[in-house]
Amino acid sequence: MTDEVVGRTYESDRPYLVSAEKIAEFAAAMGDPNPAFGDSAAATKLGHPDVVAPPTFVTVISFGALNQVIADLGLRLHRLLHGDQRFVHHRPIVAGDRLVSRTSIESLRRISGAEIYTVKTEVSTVDGAAGGHLRDRHAAAPARGVRVTAEIPQRQFTVTRADLVRYAGASGDFNPIHWNDRAARALGLPGVIAHGMYTMAVAARTLTDWAGDPAAVSEYAVKFSSLVEVPDDDTGTTLTVSAKVTKELDDGRVQVDLTVTVDGEKVLNRARALVRPPV
């Protein structure tokens, strides 16, 4: 691929209507029972106008946008490896939002025969609204006495093949390496591996459960460092997530660093989030 692709942009062809049903489906695929994902009354108590989406829900929109890039460049989904991911939320996504996206190829590098693309997707409401009621309301709030170096309770999550199939349906990412052993092994993988975005989404439950509000996570970034193999049996694979508050920001948010491992091996590197801490 030539460098001329850098700078190409792709606009969504129609708005995406965020429904309460889709939010609930995505949350269920993550195994997250937070009532704010399916109960408008619970979401209203947190200050949201309707049920609120998980921090990584925007994957549903951005993956559709990525498909435009893949088609344009003649790439093959099953041969792509996800290197890293960063989300920045200006306000929560809630049911009833009508969203559009603009995707751009920001850079192209070549290392050891591989092409590495940096792709950015900006998602906004159809009227171009930016910012959000929750972030604005809490912008000047103190960090409520959260201690730097405070440990957030460690969590463990079991990941099975059935979870990966549910996530594929909810996210739109049907890459066969996440559900088909033959396809995975044909690419030199040991077998089916979890979606990087699924691992990232599940790890975020540690943050949202601690904060008490799914919209408390305003920024979240990781580097995918190791594969998460998921065996074809009922036991699945266990993700262990540890998190620690490492910095207090002037706007009331805190920085949280996460360590995500499988059998003691780190599977996410430089996992970090900005979170509005619990009251």
Percent of the chain residues past pLDDT 90, beyond the cut: 81
In this prediction, residues 184-198 reach a mean pLDDT of 95
* pLDDT of the residue at 107: 95
Which range of residues forms the domain containing residue 257?
A: 3-275
On the question of pLDDT at 177 being above 70, the answer is yes
Mean pLDDT of 172-191: 94
pLDDT tops 70 at residue 45 = yes
pLDDT at 6 over 90: yes
List, for residues 68-119, the tens digit of each pLDDT value.
999 999 988 888 888 999 999 999 999 999 999 999 999 999 988 889 999 9
Find the mean pLDDT for residues 148-169.
Answer: 93
Residue 129: pLDDT band by 50, 70, 90 thresholds? low
HSE-up (13 A, CA, CB side) for residue 159: 29
Distances 46 to 117, 247, 268 between C-alpha atoms, Å: 38, 25, 30
pLDDT at 78: 82
Give 79-85 contacts, CB < 8 A, sequence gap 24+. Answer: 79/187, 80/175, 82/196, 82/197, 82/224, 83/116, 83/223, 83/224, 84/221, 84/222, 84/223, 84/224, 84/270, 85/196, 85/197, 85/200, 85/221, 85/222, 85/224
Q: What is the per-residue pLDDT for 270?
A: 93
Q: Quote the pLDDT of residue 231.
A: 94
**CA angle, 154 then 160 then 162, to 5°:** 135
Give the model's confidence band at 234: pLDDT under 50 very low, under 70 low, under 90 confident, else very high.
confident
| Residue 141 pLDDT grade (very low, low, confident, very high; cuts 50, 70, 90) | very low
| Cα–Cα dist 247/195, whole Å | 29
Q: CA–CA separation, 55 vs 91, rounded Å? A: 10
**Residue 43 reports pLDDT greater than 50:** yes
Q: Return the pLDDT at 267.
A: 97
Q: Considering the chain, what is the average pLDDT of its residues?
A: 91
**pLDDT reading at 137 higher than 50:** no
What total number of domains does the chain contain?
Answer: 1
What pLDDT does 259 receive?
98
The CATH number of residue 164's host domain is 3.10.129.10
Q: Which of 46-50, 91-95, 233-237 has the lowest mean pLDDT?
A: 233-237
What is the arithmetic mean of pLDDT over 136-155?
61
